Amino acid sequence: MATHLLIDGYNLMGFMQGLSEKLEANREQLLRRLAAYRHRKNHPITVVFDGWGQDRMMEQREHRTGVQVVYSKRGEKADQVIQRLVRQYGSDCAVVSSDHEIIAVARSHGAFALEAWEFAGKLTLPPSSAGSIPHKELDRGEDDRPRRGPEKKGNPRKLPKAQRQRQSRLKRF
């Protein structure tokens, strides 16, 4: 089953393009990129934007090229909507945000959390670069990570278990 992606729209957009006066054009460009990503990876995607400063009395939802777009209602922030959706989906979702509060709520409900910069890299990288070796200098044959002290046991070239598990989950995206 594909993992449902919950994306903090302005958070990701601010990281990728910066928040400027061309807010509508940048939002449209982000939605096009997400639609292409959804077509490539087949993950259901919900993008949540702040609508609390607008005159929307109710939460507004729309589907745009396969991506569900949610605007929060007046008086409610996108963070609150994302937290509510995380509680609803639980471990069947992944959250894209750099907001520490959202990440904490996602992890507490068993959801996978990606920082905005991690997911932005997935949106812009071509699929062929996914197989590269992350911690190895290929031309010198040396490891870039710092050496472990003599008190540590285990394979010094192997990443810690938590990082290996995280990387294996990241490969799905």
| In a domain? residue 81 | yes
pLDDT tens readout for residues 63-84: 888 899 998 888 888 899 999 9
107 or 60: whose pLDDT is higher?
A: 107
Dump pLDDT digits (tens) for 109-155. Answer: 999 999 998 898 888 755 554 444 454 444 555 555 666 566 767 77
How many distinct structural domains can be found in the chain? 1
Mean pLDDT rounded to a whole number for the chain: 81
Query: Tokens at residue 36, please?
Result: 């292409």
Per-residue model confidence (pLDDT) at position 144:
59
**Is 140 inside any structural domain?**
no
Q: Is residue 114 included in any domain, yes or no?
A: yes
Judged against a pLDDT cut of 60, whether residue 8 lies above it is answered with yes
For residue 8, being part of any structural domain is answered with yes
Give me the pLDDT at residue 44, please: 93
More confident residue, 173 or 152: 173
Over residues 162-166, mean pLDDT: 86
> How is residue 141 written in tokens?
């044959």
Residue 50's CATH number: 3.40.50
Confidence class for position 53, pLDDT limits 50, 70, 90: low
Section 75-94 average pLDDT: 91
Flag whether 56 is in a domain: yes
Distance (Å, rounded) from C-alpha 110 to C-alpha 95?
11
The radius of gyration of the chain's CA atoms, rounded to the nearest angstrom, is 19
Q: Which helix (DSSP H) or strand (DSSP E) does residue 107 occupy?
A: helix 100-108
- Beta carbons of 7 and 96 less than 8 angstroms apart: yes
Asked if residue 135 belongs to a domain, the reply is: no
What whole-number distance in Å separates Cα of residue 96 and Cα of residue 119?
A: 7
Task: Indicate the pTM of the whole model.
Answer: 0.74
Looking at the domain assignment, is residue 162 inside a domain?
no
Whether residue 143 is contained in a domain is answered as no
Check residue 4 and give its pLDDT.
92
Cα separation, 95 vs 86, in Å, equals 8
Write out the residue range of the structural domain in which residue 68 sits.
4-127
Instruction: Over range 18-40, report the average pLDDT.
Output: 85
